[in-house]
Chains A and B, each alone.
Chain A
Amino acid sequence: MQHIGNDMDELFQRAAENYPLLAGKADWSNIAGRINVEPVAGLAAYDKGKMKKKFITIFLLLFTVPAGWVGVYHFNASKQLPPTIENAINNKVDRYNKLNIPVHKNTGHLNKSIGAGVYPSVQALPKTLNTVDIPAYNFDPEMVNKKNWATSLTIIENDPAIYLNKASVTIKSMDFNKADSLVVANKNEEKTKNLSNKKKHSYFGVVAGPDYSKVRSMAFNRTGIAVGVVAGLYINKKISLETGISWNTKYYDSKGAAFSMDKVGAAMAGMTVDNLSGQSSLIEIPVKVKYDLVNKKRAGLFISGGLSAYIMTKEKNKYNVTMNGNPEKVTGIYNKNNYGLPAVANLSLGYEHQVTPGLRVRIEPFLKIPLKGIGIGSLPISSTGLQIGIISWLK
């Protein structure tokens, strides 16, 4: 009879080494698909370099793009100036023709037979004005004198065409007593007026702001950031469709119960996640419907709602786990893209304020409600925050 002793131990050891087990088919693709997790050791170096680049990118986006925008706007505006007085007349002629008001084809003089009933503001104005502000690009004073336009000028002060831009040169000592009936109109100002009163069809802008994320009932973690671009198209006077793309960094805490182990695989086999602290970099593509509650010349108030798709580009989770009954800390970095379509519902209320004609500043507090889990642990991340942006009409 054999006995379990040292010899048998040796026999079992030999048996363990040499027993004829079928090796089966190697499944390298299975392994390769699961080892795309970066080693934790490389994290510190990665963070410093990447974060610096990120900071510079955000800085450039936040400051240079809007600055460039303003510059381009003013450059374009200056290129269009000044229109000639002939243009002003032509424009006025067009305008008055549309209103069915008789006007002289070449001079733009109103027919004297027009009475107060037709154009009451003419009658309401004082007959003599010694100093009048006129947009700089409406008139070249010398040209006005040369052509003796002064004798046929009447400034209708409440005409929006003139009223829009008073920060300009002052034409002094002009005699308006003999004024006949020329109303100055300027093409640029007409455009400005149109911009203010009638919405253009499409707009474009850059937005950025803080992002506060959390999972279920957990408290907010560190402040994240979202930087992006938006573009919109008006389908009627009040409703527009808006989309864009934004690069978000989110920080959040989660309990282990909310974290799904389905996608984690063998890297955390046998572990139970107690809680985790996560950081995600993701690209968000929103599609929203924007409704203008108030739309004044200088300011507007709107609400918007829609859905967002998420593409998770990088995720780093610091886990507190229980492994073999022992609490341990594990860090996982996941670079494989994770798609969520759609991942969140967007709700926001926004305020826009016009800073220059055609350029508005937008402040938009938002709320993002998760529709499905995102990331390696399919976490239902909800977010709130504020988007501040600069919006420009597309011409």
Chain B
Amino acid sequence: MHLIQINQVLSIIICYLNFLEKTLTILNGCKGHQPRYQKIFYEQYRALALKIVFRYIYNYEEATEVTNDGFVKFFLSIEKFRCENDADIEKVVVGWLKRIMVNTSIDLLRKKMLLPEIGGIPDYVWDIKDKSATADQALLYKDLMVLVKRLPPVYRVVFNMHVIDGYTHIEIADSLKIPVGTSKSNLLRAKVLMQKYLNQREELTECSI
């Protein structure tokens, strides 16, 4: 029994080491501007990056473009990427990619003067294939994200940055070039609005029952 457990632990460690080595190889390849590794990295992290961007950018097609723009920025600036501890490399690189995606999204929103978007979110952008319990949870998550996207861009950006992506108000203020106080008040208004949306959603659910 113990042997089996040890074996399992060893397999996990070996898998982790293989994964770590693979990640390091890919990143070094990207640093060396080798298209093969850049493509592997892009395909590996594209879905994650798109999920980050789509929280900020209302339109799906626009979000895919911004994701691509973000990857271009990532590959162009990858030589600046440093990680002291190889064991944390996956975490650090994802954090860095996330920051690039957020900044790229903000750049576009700023370019559009943070004006509110019009039109709904089409159903084809959601990837819900089955109707199991997992699917129910996925639907909940989807609904929550729809609520986030319903927020006006000014509030949505601050809400996303602070609540979901963990930016401090100082970082938000610095990134959006707004006073810290404005960031705080925008977050407060975003939360009030979100509360309102959640209440509406709850009422709708009760009515349908």
Tell me the A residues contacting B by CB distance below 8 Å.
1-4, 9, 11-24, 26-28, 30-32, 34-35, 37, 39, 41-42, 265-267, 269-271, 323-326
Contacts and interface: CB of A to CB of B under 8 A. Distances in A.
B38 A31 contact: yes
B72 interface: yes
A324 B110 contact: yes
Secondary structure at the B interface, as helix, strand, loop or mixed, is helix
A29 B73 CA distance: 15
A9 to B, nearest CB: 5
Contacts of B42: 26, 28, 31
Interface string B63-107: 010001111110111011000000000000000000000001011
A390 B110 CA distance: 57
A15 B72 contact: no
Nearest to A25: B64
B75 A31 contact: yes
Nearest to A4: B191
B128 A20 contact: yes
Nearest to A13: B164
A22 B127 contact: yes
A269 to B, nearest CB: 5
A18 B38 contact: no
B198 A2 contact: yes
Given A4-B198, A15-B145, A324-B106, 16 more contacts: A1-B199, A3-B195, A4-B194, A16-B145, A16-B160, A18-B137, A19-B138, A20-B142, A23-B50, A27-B68, A31-B38, A31-B42, A31-B71, A34-B72, A35-B75, A267-B76
B148 A12 contact: yes
Contacts of B39: 28, 32
A18 B107 contact: no
A276 B73 CA distance: 20
A29 B83 CA distance: 29
A42 B79 CA distance: 10
Contacts of A3: 195
B46 interface: yes
A107 B123 CA distance: 107
B106 A32 contact: no
A322 to B, nearest CB: 11
A39 B75 CA distance: 9
B3 interface: no
A34 B39 CA distance: 13
Max count, chain A CB within 10 A of own CB: residue among B124, B198, B199 = B198
B: interface residue count bin: 35 or more
A42 B78 CA distance: 13
A17 B177 contact: no
Interface string B133-167: 00001111110110010000000000010011000
B191 to A, nearest CB: 5
Contacts of A9: 163
10 contacts: A4-B191, A21-B127, A24-B64, A30-B68, A31-B71, A31-B72, A32-B38, A269-B104, A269-B111, A270-B107
B63 to A, nearest CB: 9
Contact of B43 (A4, A26, A42, A265): A26
Contacts of B175: 324
A170 B191 CA distance: 110
A28 B145 CA distance: 27
Contacts of A30: 68
Contact of A269 (B69, B79, B125, B144): B69
Given A28-B39, A31-B38, A16 B55 contact: yes
Contacts of B35: 32
A294 B149 CA distance: 77
A89 B67 CA distance: 87
A283 B171 CA distance: 47
B42 to A, nearest CB: 6
Interface in B22-52: 33, 35, 38-39, 42-43, 46-47, 50-52
A271 B104 CA distance: 11
B207 to A, nearest CB: 15
A28 B38 CA distance: 9
Contacts of B38: 31-32, 35
A34 to B, nearest CB: 5
A324 B55 CA distance: 20
